[in-house]
Amino acid sequence: MPIDIDALLQDAPDNFVIQNALEKCVDVVSHHQKIMCSVSGGADSDVMLDMLLRCGARGKTDFVFFNTGLEYHATLEHLDDLEKKYNIKILREKPQKSIPQSVKEFGVPFWSKFVSEYINRFQSHTFQWDDLPYKELVEKYPKCKSAINWWCNRMGGDQVFGKTTQYVIERAPYLKEFMIANHPTFKVSSKCCQYAKKEASKQFEKAGGYDLKCMGVRKAEGGARATAFKNCFSEGHHIDNFRPIWWFRDSDRAEYCAHYGVVHSRCYTEYGLVRTGCVGCPFGKRFEDELSVIKAHEPKLYAAALAVFGPAYDYTRRYLEYREKKKQEAKSKPA
C-alpha cells in the first residue's frame, strides 16, 4: 500500500531535516523490492528502523543483527523489545569469526583502525621500529612502503601532510617516539571489525539477493564509517546503499525520538553511554569510561573485555602517560 506522503509529513515534526529525510526514505523504499536493514541496537539504528517502517518498508525488509560475540546484554534485550514494539522479526546472525576469535588469530586493535593496520603491516615484515630516514627504511623494508610513509609522515613521493590527516603517525602526538622506546610485544590488528561485522554482512547480503541495504550512519558521528560516504544514498552494481538519517544532527535525532516515542536500550537510559559500538573497543583514549560502565552494569562482560583486549588497554595507558610526560616537558622548556 503506497504511503501518503502529505499525511506523513503533516504528522512529522516541523523540522526540515526530519521532513526531508522522511520524504527521501519513502522515495527510496518505493523504488526497491527487497531490502536489508542492519540493526545494531544503538540509538541511530533505532531511529532508522522506526523511519523505514513509517515509510513503507514493512513486508519487504529483512532486519538483521550481526552478533560480534561480545555484546551488551542490554542490547540483546533491546532487540527483543524492538520485535515486540514494531511486530517484526530481527534475524540474529553469527559472524565468520567472532571478535574474540579474530583477536586471538590476528591481533588486538590499538588506538585506531589506521594505526592498527600499519602496525600490523610492520609486524608482518618484522619491522624493528627503526628511527631511520625514509630512503633507508624503504631499502630495508621494500614491501612495506605504505606503512613507512605513515611512519615518516609522508603520503607518497615527497609530499608531506601534517597532523590534519589520519594517514601520518604525527596525528597521534609522540606515538612514534613511544613505540621506538616501547615496542609492542603483542600482535596488533584491526581485523576483528572485518570478520565480526563486514564479512558477515557481505555474506548475508549476497545470499539474500537484496537490492537495497540500509545502515544507521550519520555524518555528524564522524569516524571512519562516516567519512567513507558523501551523502545518504549511493548506487551499486548489484545493491544500492541507503543511510536514512545521514543528515541528522544530535538535536534532530533527539527531536525525532521525542516526537515518535522512540525508546533506546538500557545502554543509554540506564548505563549512561552516548554510543554503543563494539563493547570495550580499545580504539582511542575514551575506553576507560566505557570500561567503568561495563564493570558497574555487566561485570561478566567486563571480565570478557579484559581477557580479549587487555594488552591494548595496558599499552594505551602507557602511551598516554608517556605523551603527557612529553607534553609537560615541552611546556617547561624555555622559549
Nearest to 263 by CA among 22, 47, 39, 19: 47
CB 214 within 8 A of CB 48: yes
Q: Give pLDDT tens digits for 216-260.
A: 999 988 665 556 788 999 999 899 999 999 999 999 999 999 999
What is the predicted pLDDT for the residue at 158? 46
Domains of the chain: 5-95+194-265 (3.40.50.620), 111-181 (no CATH)
* High-pLDDT (> 90) share of the chain, %: 85
- Angle of CA points 263, 234, 67, to nearest 5°: 45
Q: Where are the alpha helices (DSSP H) in the chain?
A: 5-11, 16-30, 43-54, 73-86, 99-106, 113-124, 134-140, 145-151, 175-181, 191-193, 199-208, 223-227, 250-260, 266-269, 287-297, 299-332
Q: Give the largest Cα separation in the chain, rounded.
A: 74
C-alpha cell at 19: 521532513
CB 181 within 8 A of CB 13: no
Distance between CA atoms of 252 and 274, rounded to whole angstroms?
15
Q: Give pLDDT tens digits for 260-284.
A: 999 999 999 999 998 888 899 999 7
**Residue 25 confidence (pLDDT) above 70:** yes
Strands 233-234 and 240-242, how do they pair?
A: antiparallel
Q: What is the mean pLDDT of the chain?
A: 93
Q: Give pLDDT tens digits for 51-72.
A: 999 999 999 999 999 999 999 9
Distance between CA atoms of 272 and 264, rounded to whole angstroms?
11
**Residue 215 confidence (pLDDT) above 60:** yes
What is the predicted pLDDT for the residue at 157? 47
Provide the 3-class DSSP secondary structure of residue 185: coil
What is the predicted pLDDT for the residue at 229? 82
Q: Which residues pair with 88 in a beta bridge?
A: none
What is the predicted pLDDT for the residue at 36? 98
For cell 548505563, what's the residue?
A: 271
The mean pLDDT of 184-198, rounded to a whole number, is 94
Chain-centroid distance of CA 275 in Å reads: 10
What is the predicted pLDDT for the residue at 227? 63
